[in-house]
Structure 1
Amino acid sequence: MKITLERVNENFHFQMQNERGHIVDVDARPAFGGNDMGPSPMELVLMGVAGCSGIDMISILKKQRQEITSFKAEVEGERVPVGEANPFKTIHIVFFLEGPINEDKAARAAKLSFEKYCSVSKTLEPTATILYKVVLNGVELAN
């Protein structure tokens, strides 16, 4: 796996590209001298957690022949100072699923993602606590 980065402007706007040609813009907020032309690197980390676990969950539920009519997630990260850096201490993710989905299968899909399959959360696990909830058809499921 390889990513290339190219500076776009005189500040912190970068375009990153993977080996397949997909491009993502990254920038800093104006408060940090950027132009807000894309998400920050730390926002990309949260997006990575949501995307990775989302792919896992949908894959698991599809294999179980569950019909997903809507799938959304919200992710929030709490950061703490460690020297000059501010890494994530805790990441909270809530999945919102709709459709005729078995509750146990939805809860198990999330559990399998975080405990076994999601490489992004496994990468962060040594330094950040990842907490998740599943809301199925408007009802929060027990973990």
Structure 2
Amino acid sequence: MKQATVTWEGDMLFKATTGTGHAVLMDAAESAGGKNTAARPADLVLVALGGCTGMDVVSILRKMRIPFDRFEVALESDNAEEHPKVFRAIRVVYRLWGEGVPVDRYLRAIELSWTRYCSVSNTLKHAAHLTYRAELNGQEVGRGEHPAPALSGERA
């Protein structure tokens, strides 16, 4: 079971503490009564997705004994215009650098994360259209997606 406690620290600043004792601060923009001193909660959803799938890919590549020099995950989202401004689409770009990395193994690591291991992507895929692009040494080498199911009251 996962646990977290979120405590109001004043103004619109909140401190989240995980069940493992790690802390994360959240704040609102000045226009919403905050001081813009920390990430917004919705930003942390993207961060959670990037961290979850990124850790999977690194772990899988290491188990495959595939060395690499650098890795990053970039994310962006489209959100509804009206409140609650839900995520409609999330785009993930995996960027890996390294000599001699087999493209098929790199793409397999991403697919395993998306289909089997990343709890965040497998939760979000029920609410938003998730797509990814994989780059190796600056060149696109693959794409994939988790289409969101049609939400009630909306056309597919």
TM-score (norm 2): 0.86
Equivalent runs, 1:1-143 vs 2, <5 Å? 1-9=2-10, 11-81=11-81, 84-100=83-99, 101-143=101-143
Structure with greater contact order relative to length (CA < 8 Å, sep ≥ 6): 1
Shift of 1:13: 0.4
Counterpart of 2:38 in 1: which secondary structure?
coil
Instruction: Name stretches of at least 5 consecutive residues in structure 1 with no aligned partner.
Output: none
Are the counterparts in 1 of residues 88 and 128 from structure 2 also a CA contact under 8 Å? yes
Are the counterparts in 1 of residues 135 and 142 from structure 2 also a CA contact under 8 Å? no
Shift of 1:33: 1.4
CA RMSD of aligned residues (A): 1.2
- Listed one character per residue, the Cα deviations across residues 59-98 of structure 1 (whole Å, up to 9, x for unaligned) are 111110011210111100100146x311100000101101
Runs of at least 4 residues off by over 2 Å:
none
Separation of aligned partners in 2, 1:97 and 1:142: 12
Shift of 1:34: 1.0
